[in-house]
Amino acid sequence: MRIGSILENQNIEKRITITPEIVKKYTSLGIEVCLIENYGSHLGIKDEQYKDIGVKILNDENEVLNSSDIIVQLGILSDDKIFKMNENQTFIGVLNPYNNKAKLEKLAEKKINLFSLELLPRITRAQSMDILSSQANLAGYKAVIESFASFEKAIPMMMTAAGTVPAAKVLVVGAGVAGLQAIATAKRMGAIVFATDVRMASKEQVESLGGKFLTVEGSENLETEGGYAKEASDDFKKKQEELLSETLKKIDIVICTALIPGKKAPLIIKDNMIKNMQAGSVIYDLAAIQGGNTSFTEVDKIIDKNGVKIMGESNILNKLPISSSNLYAKNMFNFIDNLFDKDSKKININLEDEIIEKTLIK
């Protein structure tokens, strides 16, 4: 059994799926690892490091893909590569089935086993494989660092002989994994932190991190059985809008993290709210790639509206590629470890296993 991986499009993705640390875990299962040359060189990992631990390094992408039983990547491969895959191969990554439906159906017809890790169920046994949580954690942290770097005032309160510098006020919109990490990071750096979320279960988590949870009067709990946020009613949206409008007048930095799986990001911070914000404020929109939580967010641009900077990137994890690759590689191994039959040394697609059944694209 051989597992292989090639480089992603370096213009949009710098993370890798197999790190030297994880190679040892694959080989302990009896799985051979095959990589394209210079696979980790942009992260300071030389081919020799891989070769020293038994990795086969090839200089032809097609050879890596064709000779591997399992192919692991961050995202789906380009058409010219993925349609050359062979029957009964297994492809695992973040395949975005909502946007790649036609392509994935064609691959499934070729009897290629397709697993998309963002479809993992939110159950205890799947936590070690949860790529959304591991990557969102880093994204929440980095969003705070990036927004603080663009904010032209001090973050913590400082008492000096010349006077007191007040602490910056931060609002985190969406208290999922990214939002909770953003709250924790902002608090550690001395900010006063507020947060809002449609899921009432988040209130206790926000407060445990030292944040103040903004509650919409008469709130309904908008949480799916899987633990994700679902779309709010028009009445809730109106009440949330009124609360946010008043809150944003005194906020210095906003971190937006609100996403609905498979849908456009909800528009939460509207034109009139931004007009009422203080000049010099910063909004960092982690939902930019899915349309953004503000009406002015543009991917990979800093937009200035009435002195308010609005930031959003296509892939903030490209700024933390080593840490994010390490976590993603561990998530991937744990998923394959669950998928791999140790006795037969083959992939075992057991549809009675909820993890396998939910992530398999049929």
Query: What residues act catalytically?
Result: 122, 127, 130, 133, 228
- Asked if 118 and 223 count as a contact pair (C-beta separation under 8 A), the reply is no
List, in sequence order, the alpha helices (H) in 110-176: 131-150
218 CB-near residues (< 8 Å, 6+ apart): 239
Helix (H) or strand (E) holding 304, with range, is strand 301-305
Quote the Cα angle for 71-133-41, to 5°: 45
Question: Token pair of 340, please?
Answer: 């791999």
Are 245 and 273 contacting, i.e. CB atoms less than 8 angstroms apart? Answer: yes
Instruction: Report the C-alpha gap between 197 and 22 in whole angstroms.
Output: 36
Residue 126 burial (C-beta neighbours within 10 Å; 0-12, 13-18, 19+): buried
Measured CA to CA, the distance from residue 38 to residue 17 in angstroms comes to 14
CB–CB of 145/185 below 8 Å?
Answer: yes
Q: What is d(CA 50, CA 36) in angstroms, rounded to the nearest whole number?
A: 11
